[in-house]
Chains A and B, each alone.
Chain A
Amino acid sequence: MASSIRVRANANGDITEVQALIQHPMDTGLVKDSKGELIPAHFIQELKFECNGKDVFVANWGTAVSKDPYVKFSFKGAKKGDELKISWTDNKGASDTTTAKIA
């Protein structure tokens, strides 16, 4: 299966800009389906970005983050070719991990 995480990490001098797009339903648990039954909550709780053995950015998410979440941030201390490891876990215990080379 293709990874649920798409990442772009570009180094510009000392600063690396990271954009990530994750495929996830992010169900709130408040919405009903076509049969009128509640769709149980299903959302990513934690998203972690790790570079050179250090957590550079950690997101804790609730249900109010949009479906197929997007996040953008920048950090210092990495260079082109370094690996960025991205992982998420959701409230049902599912998870996914991917690594991206900083370009």
Chain B
Amino acid sequence: MTTTTGPHPTRRLILQGAASVALIGLGNLPFAAAHAAANDKYPEEAFKQKSEADAIKALYGRNAEPSDKVKLDAPEIAENGGVVPVSVTTTLDKVTSISFLVAENPFALAASYKIADGTIPGVANRLKMAKSTKLVAIVEADGKLYSATKDVKVTVGGCGG
């Protein structure tokens, strides 16, 4: 008996060991993905944050530093808050994402763009602004966050569409 069952416990141990390693590996994945802005999932949580600081944290998991290499272009006075042309360009290298945040909006994060390798780091789009607000552009380059801000005066709010 002992000779036939002898090898089994060790084999079982090895299998159990392998299984638990696999489980630990799976368990870690969601946490690793939660903060990565470069992953493929829609950042639902970040878009639900009300303040721009919380939104940046939810999207990137760290803070941005102001940089003059990020150029944010927006009108000083927007006549229609429903359609405000906003664009960002940067001279930074290895840009992986660009995000726009409108501080006074009900939800601060407006748009986040993933910039692939070979894509020029610059975006132009149109955003809604509920009232006069601080506008923040975040550029993620080489793993670091850089920001530019601009104040926009809105004469008619963007909530009415």
Contact = CB atoms under 8 A, between A and B. Distances in A.
Interface string A9-45: 0000001000000000001101100000000000001
Interface string A70-103: 1111111100000000000000000000000000
Contacts of A55: 114, 116
A65 B112 CA distance: 11
B19 interface: no
Interface residues of A, number: 30
Contacts of A60: 42-43, 47, 111-114
Given A31-B160, A57-B115, A60-B112, A74 B120 contact: yes
Contacts, number: 106
Contact of A15 (B106, B109, B120, B128): B120
28 contacts: A15-B120, A31-B160, A31-B161, A45-B42, A54-B116, A55-B114, A56-B116, A57-B114, A57-B115, A57-B116, A58-B40, A58-B114, A59-B111, A59-B112, A60-B113, A60-B114, A61-B111, A62-B107, A64-B107, A64-B127, A64-B158, A65-B111, A66-B125, A66-B126, A73-B120, A74-B120, A75-B116, A75-B119
Interface of B: 40, 42-43, 47, 82-84, 87, 102, 105-107, 109-116, 118-120, 122-129, 158-161
A66 B105 CA distance: 13
Contacts of A71: 123-125
A8 interface: no
